[in-house]
Structure 1
């Protein structure tokens, strides 16, 4: 059972901490070790951890008590001590890793943030879940986010160093083409380093505010690394490339889908020479376009907004040089006032009936003034359940398909198709069709057994009558007449519960009935119930438990009954800590429970056109990998609910985690990958440049809300639309 396993982990952890704390004056021999120095100071004190390697100073503000007898610590105080010990160990790891990064010791810098750090983080999550301090609940997040960002920074700096060596080799060999190609990669890596620097420093600031630690040396180390990369990149750019200037002007600031932006641009060098008579790549609203300059470096650009937010007051156009180009990038912005247009949406076909797990399909068409509108995301919903999405094609049509969840109640419902979003340049009134939702029969199982000691383990499964698992549903479990708990099924339909035998009120051996019940109210699933009986043996009452039943230890080990060695006394203290922790934990695990489990714009590339022929896709981009597709099963309904509630950060977090979960297997991204490592795997596995642009925007938005201090307001509406457009 997960509850008993976690209790064992915390108990062992408490033993580890207790084992490092002397319990009497006779046992104290000299100054405390680095791992022991978790202090509670009477005034501001600095306690250094890990000798000189980590450079971490922790400020303590409570009562000075270098060592405590674990048997005398209160339950809450003991857990807070364990929490602080784990916090200090992780802070030390971050600080040491930053210093090793500054010294170019990349493997060591990654190692200190590896498995051991992850184990400490898992233990920390368990411990803060048991404390009564409300602020503890979110304290683990900054550790995990900062660790991930620092790991990714370390990997990126290492990649920069390796690429820089390859660049120098190409320069020495007078291979200008290879040198330029590697210099372009250095530019991208340097940009990533600067961004990750901000993320890591922001994480340090959060951890300092949370823990009182001084991460100044770690901050200095990270700043040194970033400054070194920035300076080297400046030298590379000056040696190989010519700076450019981009200037834009538009006929009118007021634009819409019906009245697109028409802008004139000119690209020149920093010296004023035109970049003439060539195809160049420009990026607007997150999408790449190809235009052609004339003899004066001038070009024309047309942009028709579709999924751009209407509250944007400007659009940035960026010149993106090809890898082999001798020029550096540049950008300029144009002021805009985006007017929203309302198109007409009509449903051409739709499912008329469905049951749990069935595919619900709909085909709709979007038009404006009788003309089809392409590139707009459509969504199908029943109530709050999102059933699928797609993007309108050249004909203005799109087909959606999704699995009917259990949360849609049986009966006559409405299948609604919506287009765009409330803040997008193109929107439409939703259209509904009637649909009959049938109920589905269910089966429920329950089993119970007594584990060693007095803990009762209850488990079972909830499935349909044709054996399909039913996840994320509540199951009420009653053990005897004294215990009733509600747990939720996991994705595989299973549930589990750990019950402390002392709650049953049984004084000896007794037959206990365990009942499980699923209430299908407000779902499309029928009710189900199950019961089982087993013989419960109260080992404590029968004398087979802990001594006389009043103590977890035999009475003859207490002081006063004979000489006690320091080893015995230390063991006594450790066992008492374990007993105290387990007493606290059992309250939690009685609850038990099964497992529960864009970019700036999605505007179509063809909407921005230049004078002259349209160039082919970026030659440096890999061919699309047809097998990499996240369309099946993508459901951004919760993200849209967060947006509707005004919680942009939660919407972005859900979108990133949900999308990553659907493509991780295709690109070979393990759970341990950071967000930027995930992006690099997508790049390495052959996603096309448009898909990579969307993923980059998603990753940047996720990084903004997760790691950067201060408020973040990414364009989540456009982000979801862009994902829909590329993976629908």
Structure 2
């Protein structure tokens, strides 16, 4: 870097520091004077100190929300926050889908690591903006993540099965190859189903947020087509195609009077699939039967969850994985009549409290027999506990924990069939249960972060653990300013805008209250008293240091806070002057360090510890460089690659891969005529058509190795690292060649 640019950066940084220090001195305030105990303290808990979570929250004029990338002080700010979060979520889904298309899935980890937090914040900000569709949005965001993740996992499974199939073929294991062919066909069907759900979710996501997932939808369709084509080719190579003809000879049926289906199963050349056990999917169920010598079969089917009335059903032959035959299907016409059944329910124990284990069991019957494989929804006091399916005798059992959103007092467990207008119906069954209340405790801490802003954090807990997902009301001097929701560990935090009636010289009493209305936990509250923030002595950097001196003096002398504050005033009188002197000295030292740091050497070489360079010569800005690939840049890349090889020789394989990738990425990025940086996979896509085919593949393999080194819990093998560095060298070699020779 030219020396005049270095000096310019030093001056700019120094000016910025002076501005920042002046702002810090002006606005950083004093903290809380005291913390009051919880109103919910009933002797169950000792006094606890609330730790500060890593994520805090930002507030607006009248509400409390979790931390966002910007302070949300109005509708425009809330829209900016929503847009930021939507872009992050859509980016995570798109990165995952693009990577799956390229044969990897490391980026999909963000769907578990980051996406849920972004989705939760998005819904919370949407709620603060007054939007009434938060429940629908929450469901859309959740389904988008789940199906994107499931789709990636299913595609990964498909490719693993394909690799196993190729291995079985290479080994001449025809039985294993047939088994894998069946599994690939079935997995392709699952991918198609999940892909259809995913693209539907992506459309809803794009409609309900500012994010755009159209590219992800296109990628999903492309992947579906690829896997379907592969599965069809393998099926044709390994399995004998079949033809199924089926007919409902008794098309009018019900659970008490079953449908009768007859048909014939033939191979593609007309040979009967004879004397073998055959499984058929029909309606919403599955039936197993036996074919005769002519491939004919007949079976009864009792409809349960199918719609009543006339309809068309698929009948599908589902061969076992070891079968030589492939699947086939036909359609039949049926007319279903509904039947009334019964549901029974019992629960134990009969008296419960929050988080107790509750077991609910019973049986579903119709026409004098148990009904198997139907869902039963179980609730307690109106709160859904879960859904379970009946076994072959019609029995069911669900064991779960008592949730908080059940009112204390007499309640009932309810078991019901969660559908209507189907072949089976039944009245709900219920049983009594006593729900007892449980004491809670709410701890609260806080401090002023500005004259009109306070940061608070606390935790809601019971004797059996923390309480998540509960609304806590925040008030200041008796005036409600908003609500916040407890996190998974019962914690909450927020930045609260104090009411206009509270000035910097006023004491602010912040109260957090959990009402417990309609729930089985008792109410609780906690409060914290925040000291006034004076403009000169108690505000800014001086106020922050003054508070620490007050606290230290009180601890050393045992004096009460008031006397400690008076006694420390003599010390704090000179704090403003001391702060200015220290700031000037700090800027001088920092300026020297920055000038040394920005010597014309690669920052990454410094970071990786390459000390061979002495800084080089200063390049005059008036001297143009006719070479489109600067010599210094080439030397830096070579140095990085040399450092990568050194890391490999020292056994640090991950560091070697990272350094090798950085050498290539920095060179490729330098050649881009773009204002915004590319992600690593966007870089691969951009250069795929601009590099020779073998080098484009080398870049993709290097990128995959980089992702494993950066994100995988497993250390890269020496072979992987060696291959990565070879790929890096290959790509750099093509880039360094003159453009004419590359075209030749």
**Residue 535 of structure 1: aligned partner:** 531
Bigger-Rg structure (1/2):
2
Pair 1:318–1:460, CA change in 2 (3 A): same
SS in 1 for 2:540: coil
Residue pair 1:90, 1:117 contacting (<8 A) in 2 also: no
Is residue 307 of structure 2 the alignment partner of residue 253 of structure 1? no
Q: CA deviation at 1:297?
A: 0.3
Gaps spanning 5+ residues in structure 2: where?
A: 1-54, 60-64, 543-744
Within 5 A, what are the aligned runs for 1:646-665? none
CA contact (8 A) 2:347 2:358 kept: no
SS in 1 for 2:531: strand
**Contact 2:89–2:118 (CA under 8 A) maintained in structure 1:** no
Contact 1:10 1:126 in 2 (8 A): no
Q: CA deviation at 1:330?
A: 0.4
In structure 2, relative to structure 1, the CA distance for the partners of 1:303 and 1:92 (3 Å cut) is closer
Query: Does residue 2 of structure 1 match 2:61?
Result: no
Q: CA deviation at 1:335?
A: 2.3
Q: CA deviation at 1:3?
A: 0.9
Aligned length, in residue pairs: 481
Q: Distance in 2 between matches of 1:348 and 1:330?
A: 44
Equivalent of 2:326 in 313, 318, 328: 328
Whether contact under 8 Å (2:441, 2:460) holds in the other structure is yes
- Does 1:479 find its partner at 2:533? no
Among 531, 537, 540, the alignment partner of 1:544 is 540
Matched residue, 1:680: none
Match of 1:646 in 2: none
Other-structure match for 1:263:
261
Secondary structure at the aligned position of 1:275 is classed as coil
Select 2:519's aligned residue among 512, 516, 523.
523
Matches within 5 A, 1:189-208: 189-192=187-190, 194-195=192-193, 198=196
CA distance in 1, matches of 2:195, 2:392: 43
- Give the alignment of 1:214-229 within 5 angstroms: 227-229=225-227
Matched, 1:506 2:560: no
**Which residue pairs with 1:298 in the alignment?**
296
What TM-score do you get using the length of structure 2 for normalisation?
0.52
Cα 1:494–1:132 shift into 2, 3 Å: closer
**Aligned CA distance change for structure 1 residues 388 and 545 (closer, same or farther; 3 Å):** same
CA contact (8 A) 2:475 2:512 kept: yes
Uncovered stretches (5+) of structure 1, i.e. residues with no partner: 15-73, 547-728
Cα distance in 1 for partners of 2:423, 2:330 equals: 22
Cα separation, 2, equivalents of 1:122 and 1:270 = 53
CA contact (8 A) 1:472 1:490 kept: yes
* Contact kept in structure 1, 2:115 and 2:145, CA below 8 Å: no
Asked if structure 1 preserves the Cα contact closer than 8 Å seen for 2:179 and 2:323, the reply is no
Describe the SS at the equivalent of 2:250.
coil
| TM-score, normalising length: structure 1 | 0.53
2:234 aligned partner? 236
State the secondary structure of the residue aligned to 1:336. strand
Q: Distance in 2 between matches of 1:119 and 1:246?
A: 48
- Cα shift readout 1:502-543 (whole Å, capped 9, x = no counterpart): 7562232x4433333343443344443444434242558966
Measured after TM superposition, the shift of residue 255 of structure 1 is: 1.6
The range that moved more, 117-126 or 268-277, is 117-126
Q: 1:541 to 1:255 in 2, by over 3 A?
A: farther
CA 1:229–1:453 in structure 2 vs 1: closer, same or farther (change >3 Å)? same
Report if aligned partners of 1:360, 1:387 keep a CA contact under 8 Å in 2: no
Looking at structure 1, the residues matched to 282 and 509 of structure 2 have their Cα atoms a distance apart, in angstroms, of: 67
CA RMSD, 1 decimal:
5.1
Query: What is the SS of the residue equivalent to 1:408?
Result: coil
2:103 aligned with 1:106: yes
Residues 276/208 of structure 1: CA separation in 2 closer, same or farther (3 Å cut): same
Deviation at 1:295, TM superposition (A): 0.4
Matched, 1:340 2:338: yes
Task: Tell me the SS of whatever aligns to 2:189.
Answer: helix
1:222 to partner: Cα distance: 6.4
Following superposition, the deviation at residue 101 of structure 1 comes to: 6.9
